[in-house]
């Protein structure tokens, strides 16, 4: 059994799933003064030491909201808003990996309720996403307990590979950003999906496969 690791934002789906989900919450009245204040205070507190990564780690817009409510909204969001934004060529690859019996993982910085709803929709068993801090079933305005981004993706992938019983060095990984290079350089089959400038440069230099959103779907080798 081989490991196949998929990024979500910009890879499986077009755009940022979490930004879209935030707007989804706004339209359903789940973003009020408390959530906005918590988000801004998080930036004030952590930006001086965390730098630009603080923006990605800031999940304080969930502050005070019930996890159960967010999970239900995430299911609706994926079904109605995210499915139409699927990158068809990459989703087809994912389904081929599933049919081949590979261990497919969604590895993403988006929040876990959205990632798990997406995984259920795609028939994916393994998920590693941002795990937000919570107490008594409600989210806190604290840094996330787990945040797969940059080098952290590589460490988490190693843990997952060990748990599943696969070799990371024999895996396939799909990503769209130069931030994914830590992971892509560690696997046997790196695939750049509609890559940004930094990832495009490396992919061309190393003759990695590049998949654009307009590319024809390709079958995996047996």
User: Mind listing the pLDDT tens digit for each residue in 80-115?
Assistant: 999 999 999 999 999 999 999 999 999 999 999 999
pLDDT value for 219 = 46
pLDDT value for 16 = 95
Q: Which domain holds residue 179?
A: 3-211
Domain membership flag for residue 193: yes
Q: What percent of the chain has pLDDT over 70?
A: 95
Residue with tokens 């919570």: 134
User: What stretches of the chain show up as alpha helix (H) in DSSP?
Assistant: 17-27, 33-50, 53-57, 67-77, 88-100, 112-122, 151-164, 181-184, 197-206
Domain membership flag for residue 84: yes
pLDDT band, very low/low/confident/very high, at 216 (cuts 50, 70, 90): very low
Whether the CB-CB separation of 110 and 85 falls below 8 Å is answered with no
Domain membership flag for residue 221: no
Q: Which residues contact 153 (CB under 8 A, 6 or more apart)?
A: 107, 180, 182, 183
Q: What angle do CA 65, 67, 72 make, to 5 degrees?
A: 105
Domain membership flag for residue 184: yes
Q: For 115-161, how does the pLDDT look when each residue is reduced to its tens digit (9 = 90+)? A: 999 999 999 999 999 999 999 999 999 999 999 999 999 999 999 99
Domain membership flag for residue 222: no
Strand partners, 64: none
Domain membership flag for residue 67: yes
Q: For 112-127, how does the pLDDT look when each residue is reduced to its tens digit (9 = 90+)? A: 999 999 999 999 999 9
Residue 215 has pLDDT above 50, yes or no: no
Segment 163-167 long-range contacts (CB within 8 Å, at least 24 positions apart): 164/1, 164/3, 164/103, 164/126, 165/1, 166/1, 166/2, 166/3, 166/103, 167/3
Report the C-alpha gap between 76 and 136 in whole angstroms.
24
Average pLDDT over residues 180-206: 96
Report the C-alpha gap between 111 and 69 in whole angstroms.
14
Residue 214 has pLDDT above 70, yes or no: no
Q: Which CATH number does the domain housing residue 198 bear?
A: 3.40.50.1000
Domain membership flag for residue 216: no
pLDDT value for 182 = 97
Domain membership flag for residue 178: yes
**What does pLDDT average to over the chain?**
94
pLDDT value for 212 = 83
pLDDT value for 220 = 53
Report the C-alpha gap between 96 and 221 in whole angstroms.
10
Tokens of 88: 């068809």
Residue 53 has pLDDT above 60, yes or no: yes
Q: What percent of the chain has pLDDT over 90?
A: 92
Instruction: Work out how many domains the chain is built from and give that number.
Output: 1
């Amino acid at each position: 059994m081989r490991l196949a690791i998929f990024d979500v934002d910009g890879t499986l789906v077009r755009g940022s799933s979490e930004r879209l989900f935030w707007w989804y919450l706004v339209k359903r009245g789940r973003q009020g003064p408390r959530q906005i204040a918590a988000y801004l205070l998080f930036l004030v507190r952590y930006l001086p030491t965390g730098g630009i990564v603080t923006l990605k780690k800031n999940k304080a817009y969930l502050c005070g909201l019930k996890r159960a409510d967010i999970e239900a909204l995430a299911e609706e969001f994926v079904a109605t808003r995210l499915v139409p934004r699927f990158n068809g060529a990459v989703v087809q690859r994912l389904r081929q990996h599933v049919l081949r019996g590979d261990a497919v993982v969604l590895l993403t910085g988006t929040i876990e309720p959205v990632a798990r709803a997406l995984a259920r929709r795609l028939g994916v068993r393994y998920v590693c996403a941002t795990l937000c801090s919570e107490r008594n079933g409600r989210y806190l305005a604290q840094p996330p307990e787990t945040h797969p981004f940059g080098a952290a993706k590589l460490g988490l992938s190693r843990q997952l590979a060990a748990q599943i019983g696969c070799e990371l060095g024999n895996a396939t990984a799909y990503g769209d950003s130069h931030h994914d290079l830590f992971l892509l350089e560690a696997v046997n089959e790196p695939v750049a999906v509609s890559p940004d400038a930094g990832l495009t440069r490396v992919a061309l230099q190393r003759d990695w496969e590049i998949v654009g959103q307009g590319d024809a779907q390709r079958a995996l080798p047996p």
